[in-house]
């Protein structure tokens, strides 16, 4: 199957201080995403996982043409994109659901105006009854169309954000922490909604999260990020069953599990995440890795591919952590 989204060698950088930074010996350009490759198939859900600051949101925003100095190649529906030239058109094909649902909705507008806004921005007419149709699609009563964001609950605001993302019939929806700040019961409702919409509308989903229970519930594949790079990618079920990279193992071992009879060794990571301005030599994870060996400090690991997964580790694990 031809991939809907193809990303090759993606880098995203930001200017940090210009001449003053150079005079003080600091880099004036910070590379937040540092060479990422992945494909996303039509109708597939992929999750980006990692600690705060790992580059998940920056990567996703770059794919949607929303900022940073972007390098590498991005292909969509078989065509190579120039984000400066194709950005406006791309935003009709790729929709973004922002993390803070209420803050992403202008308090001056009603729900009706907010859902109509993408049509106005792209110079398109909003069909009669479209607002009500979209609200029903995401499980909301059409009566809330005349409310303002401060009159919505967190779950309602999240659903309005989903409805607005669907206005222009995108093929890819990117959801940044779609369950953040919601009660557990509402989290389940939002996840079930995204799954149902994916199946009904044939969407592809790219979900950014640090909640591994979300990943297990919705994602076909997952990618674990550390310092702006993928350290492990593959089928979600396969990675949960037997992670190969020590960072993946540490994340999974810290994930709460419901079964009181289950027993699992926990791996606590020591130290702080290194600065992007001073990336470590060798494997960038070696300073926090409980399984570090001498070659990890000297040489960066190459990508290793096994069946339906890839990982970057000199000494991959084979279930020793369970």
Q: Are 182 and 122 in contact (CB under 8 A)?
A: no
Helix/strand/coil for 126 = coil
Distance CA 211, CA 184 (A): 12
- Topology (CATH level 3) of domain 5-311: Rossmann fold (3.40.50)
Residue 269: CB atoms within 10 Å = 18
User: Which parts of the chain register pLDDT below 50?
Assistant: 320-322
pLDDT on residue 86: 63
| Two tokens, residue 137 | 């699609």
Q: Are 59 and 254 in contact (CB under 8 A)?
A: no
Distance CA 275, CA 116 (A): 42
pLDDT on residue 30: 86
Q: Are 207 and 130 in contact (CB under 8 A)?
A: no
- Give the DSSP letter string of 65-119: T-SSEEEEEEEETTEE--HHHHHHHHHHHEEEE-SSTTTTS-TTS-HHHHHHHHH
Distance CA 186, CA 232 (A): 30
- Work out the percent of the chain whose per-residue pLDDT is above 70: 89
pTM of the model: 0.89
Name the region of 211 (left: φ>0; alpha: ψ -120 to 50; beta: rest): beta
**Parallel, antiparallel, or unpaired: how do β-strands 221-226 and 229-235 relate?**
antiparallel
Instruction: Spell out the domain ranges in the chain.
Output: 5-311
3-state DSSP helix/strand/coil percent for the chain, to nearest 5?
A: 35, 20, 45
Residue 169: CB atoms within 10 Å = 10
pLDDT on residue 322: 45
The answer for residues whose C-beta is within 8 angstroms of residue 156's C-beta and 6 or more apart is 140, 144
pLDDT on residue 270: 77
Identify the burial level of 244 via C-beta atoms within 10 angstroms of its C-beta, where 0-12 means exposed, 13-18 middle and 19 or more buried. Answer: buried
């Amino acid at each position: 199957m031809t991939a809907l989204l193809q990303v090759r060698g993606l880098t995203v950088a930001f200017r940090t201080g210009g001449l003053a930074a150079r005079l003080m010996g600091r880099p004036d350009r910070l590379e937040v995403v540092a060479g990422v490759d992945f494909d996303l198939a039509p109708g597939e859900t992929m999750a980006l996982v990692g600690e705060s600051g790992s580059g998940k949101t920056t990567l996703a925003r770059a794919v949607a043409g929303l900022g940073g100095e972007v390098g590498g190649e991005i292909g969509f529906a078989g065509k190579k994109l120039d984000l400066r030239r194709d950005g406006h058109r791309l935003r009709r094909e790729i929709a973004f659901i922002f993390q803070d649902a209420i803050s992403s909705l202008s308090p001056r507008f009603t729900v009706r105006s907010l859902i109509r806004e993408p049509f106005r921005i792209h110079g398109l007419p909003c069909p009669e009854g479209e607002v009500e149709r979209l609200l029903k699609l995401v499980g909301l009563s059409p009566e809330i169309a005349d409310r303002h964001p401060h009159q919505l609950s967190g779950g309602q605001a999240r659903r309005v954000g989903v409805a607005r993302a669907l206005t222009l019939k995108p093929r890819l929806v990117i959801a940044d922490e779609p369950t953040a700040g919601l009660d557990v019961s509402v989290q389940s409702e939002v996840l079930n909604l995204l799954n149902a919409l994916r199946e009904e509308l044939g969407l592809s989903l790219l979900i950014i999260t640090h909640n591994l229970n979300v990943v297990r519930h919705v994602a076909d594949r997952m990618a674990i990020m550390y310092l702006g790079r993928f350290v492990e990618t593959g089928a979600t079920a396969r990675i949960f069953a037997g992670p190969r990279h020590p960072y993946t193992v540490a994340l999974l071992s810290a994930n709460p599990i419901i079964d009181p009879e289950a027993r699992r060794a926990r791996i606590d990571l020591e130290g702080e995440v290194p600065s992007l301005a001073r990336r470590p030599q060798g494997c960038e994870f070696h300073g926090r890795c409980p399984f570090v060996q001498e070659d990890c400090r000297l040489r960066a690991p190459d990508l290793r591919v096994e069946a339906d997964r890839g990982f970057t580790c000199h000494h991959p694990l084979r279930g020793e952590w369970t």
